[in-house]
Structure 1
Amino acid sequence: MLENNLLYYRIREILSTNILKILPHIYLSEAIEKMLYENIPEVIIVENFSQKEIIKGILTLADVSRIKKENIPLDLPVAAFMQEKVVSVDIDELVSRARETMIENRIGRLPVTEHGGIVGIIRSDNLRDSYYMKLESINRQYKQIIHHMHEAVTVTDAQGHILVWNKNAEKLYDMKCEDLIYKKLEDFFPNALTLSVLNEREPIENVYHSPKPNYYVIISALPIYIDDEFVGVVATERDVTEFTNLSLKLENANSEINLLREEVRKITTGISSLGHIQGKNPKMQKKIQLAKHVSQTDTSVLITGESGTGKEVLAIAIHQNSGRTGHFVPVNCSAIPYTLFESEFFGYVGGAFTGALRGGKPGLIELANGGTLFLDEIGDLSIEAQAKLLRVLQEKKVVRVGAGKPIDVDIRIISATNKNLKDLVQKGSFREDLYYRLNVVEIELPPLRERKEDIILLFNHFLKEICRKNKIRISHVEKDVFNILLKYGWKGNIRELKNTVEYMVVVSKNGVLDIDLIPQYILDNITTVKVDNNDQMNLEEIIKRSEADMIKKALTETKGNKAKAAKMLNIPRSTLYYKLKLYDLEKASNN
């Protein structure tokens, strides 16, 4: 194969133009004199025919030697002694073909012609020299190619001597080529895969290996055959260190993501599942029980109540308790203008309108397929959009903008509003048929001011959550803080309470929450509220009852361990002992 490659070039690349041409009538003596003077081993006898030199014969030094041995007179024309049957070759012929011609005819030269006229000659020594020059050139090219390969390359002969050891092999094993070349591979690498291929003559491919610390390669070793004869082994080692390190980083990242996902699930479940929604208020308990009951159905639910009462939290809890496998997709209806309603809710195909994504985009309804679509602020949806939404809910099919084929959807609708939809229906700004489609079951969440007994419960819940999130430790909350929070009206409801707790925690010092940390607007509002003596007594009683209940719960969960209970309540152990005595709970702590 190598030989053929070397000879895949043309005669014009190697021919010699150093030729001697004479006419047939020239005397033999003159021809010999010219050959010796020009140091040319042959003379070509030509005849000028219509301005084109035609080869008539050839006379070589070998012919001259024979003539002298026979004592033939040299004053005769050269035509009498020339070889008349001359084999020539065209200038554009392959060198490989010229070589075959010379071997077949047992000749050492070939005159070269172009368009029928002689232009040069190719001799055996000329062919040999060009062959080896080309061989050397190709050898240099091959070496450069091998040295520039990304893989470490090793080639051994059939006896295991190292013939090739490229730059990457030097880098990988920190061993120079000149120290290894033509030496036995097994003397340096007694466990090399190449040795196995040398013995078994079977290929070994894609073997993972770490030749040195923090370095990884994929090795392949293949036997080399030329004309069915085993001549050696070539081994390549592909550096996969970067890919391996990236793979390890990816695995670590995936592990972290899985851990974070699990933490998010735990946190989300803790806040949003129906079993963990905070509230001892009888009204709130009834709402939670109703939500549990309807969550297992596909019934549409309308959650009403003031802003900040936890409507979305309850919607998430219903979805998580429903067993539906699809996503919970929340939509703020007040934030989507009518001009974008169809593209956002129904999605679109590529090229449906100017600015559309090339591959199209699924709508919110399609994303909620198999899950729950939460329509927050449903009362702010335009009357035109209400009609299109109603049609989708009735047909349970959605058509992307620009498409003609409908897509079947299975969605559960939970809506929420802080407006009176019945009043909107009467005013004509909300469709009556959509209202009854959405309001199969209505759950009205009471405002926080009607859930006084839940304020301290929610306060402590948010306190733990915010302390954990911000890595802040709060060891004590003064009693006056709860007195003031119980008196406040909480127009912003649970959301306002959570923001208040977060503010107090992040600006606190020394791990204590006191009235100085309460936002000023709350304190200003409290001073303007008139409370009679009976109400004041009731509030104090509520505080005592709530504290006693929380202490009982903490002792129950810690199985009477006061140290753990105090830690759970975020109060000093001495304060816990005081409260146990104050509320006569010492018997409960011993049970």
Structure 2
Amino acid sequence: MEPKDVFADIKDELDKLLHIIMESTFSGLIITDIKGIIVYSNSSCEKILGIKREEIENKKFSQVIGDKGINKEVFKLKFTVERSVIFKGRDITIRITPFFKDNKHIFNIITMKNIFSEVDQQYELTKLEQCLDIMKDILDNEYQGMVLLDAEGRIVKFNYEKLLGIKEEDVLGKHVDEVIDNTRLHIVVKTGKKEMNDIQRIQGKDMIANRIPIMKEGKVIGAIGSVIFNDIRELKPLIQRMETYEKTFDKYKGEIKMMHEARYSFDHIISQNKRMEHLKEVSNRAAESNSTVLIQGESGTGKEYFAHGIHKASHRRYGAFVRINCAAIPKELLEAELFGYEEGAFTGARKEGKLGKLEIANGGTVLLDEIGTMPLEMQAKLLRVLEEREFERIGGTERIALDIRVIASTNEELEEAISKGKFRQDLYYRLNVIRLNIPPLRERLDDIPLLAKHMIQDLSSRLDIEPKEIAPETMEILQNYSWPGNVRELRNVIESALNLVKGNIIFPEYLPEHMIIKGKSAEEKKENNLILKDIVAQAELKAIREALIEAKGNRTEAAKLLGIHRTALYKKLDAYGLNISML
């Protein structure tokens, strides 16, 4: 069967989709059959891949893109897959989405787009701003004229001297048609209807004219007219230039928003712990202000989730959320990363300069992650910026106003760092306006069952496997463990168990060995201190399990073996949280 035959029953819908949507988008769009063979592609694919569409159709997409991360197995998945690949020196993001009809896999939709480096984006945006400034100067000076009329069509304000060589004092009070060739401005005063972008010949040259009536209480009391360009032939290249930059600006604006966008909200912080719930409530209130927030907690406790949540709940949610990892950036590059630099500011600098992260975040939020590792010299500069709310790029002279919300996070005890002279006390006070101390997982063990369940659901979906259950003895080990890696370590343990487990139950044997050993030690210690009630409960639980196994899960038969009524057995099963499917 030819690849296109599989679409015979939905051909009309596809035709509409291809012609209306696929050819009108800047994103590359491809449709493949279930084996990954390309059936359709739009014109944007040619620009992104640099290959004509007829050269890729009827070929396997994995062969065209030539990336090991995209193979035939990807096209068998039931969920959307996203990959980043390098193709002909270009960074391309690829999203593959399966399409089902009546629970049957019909075809796949692939979207592609180029991802430019942040530096290139900032460079292009800087060039765009410079271009717009130039055009503003042009329109404000030699290339624009303006005239204001009263209700009689007489001139009361005239600004055409540079454009037409006519002085204002020579024409005030005169009727406009005596001064400006081929004008219709006096007609607009009579009709009250505006005329925009009209071509008007003045002094032998075609110019663009706008004529707008001035209204008051429903009556025309005058009109304002303006012309731009002393020769319309100069307009065409400028229009082309503006269209190019407008497309570029829209594209980069979208890319920057995606790169610097908060991904998490408070709903992503899974907890039933009272202390954590209180912190979420405090964070929600903090989101309503612009005050600086300091988040302290061990690595893996979820500090970044709180930072994301505060930004998303604030009025700055539509601005950028820029994360700066102070520990990951070499100290000699940190200043340039924060403040940016001008052209030729230092050896090795980009010749066009670079915007800093603080400037990118203007109007939004900055997360200074691992603030405790910031060098003292940079701490002083940061403090000055936070107090003055303005800064200069390296090598620059212009003061740039700054409107940002600052959130700082650290896994260090800053008070101790201050006592050792490693952190400035004045910066600490500036950051420590609203403080959140995130507790480690060992202090919120009641959250482990809830977290584990949520992680199993999330990871099972990502790994495309059936969700599993955690055996009670496994959960007991999880709740007896100290969790030095906190929530991040718990997620790793759950993911490892999901990959190793045979069947639907995660037993202790699928946990890391060091956790099992510590769990057994804790259990032995617990057994040595058992009271009579606990000994009886353990014996009873063991007897119930053995009876249910012997009765092959039949509760009535198990109750007879135990010599108790069936209702009594049900109550004990509920009391011990024993699930028949887990035996």
TM range (shorter): 0.3 to 0.5
Larger radius of gyration: 1
The alignment's TM-score, normalised by the length of structure 2, stands at: 0.47
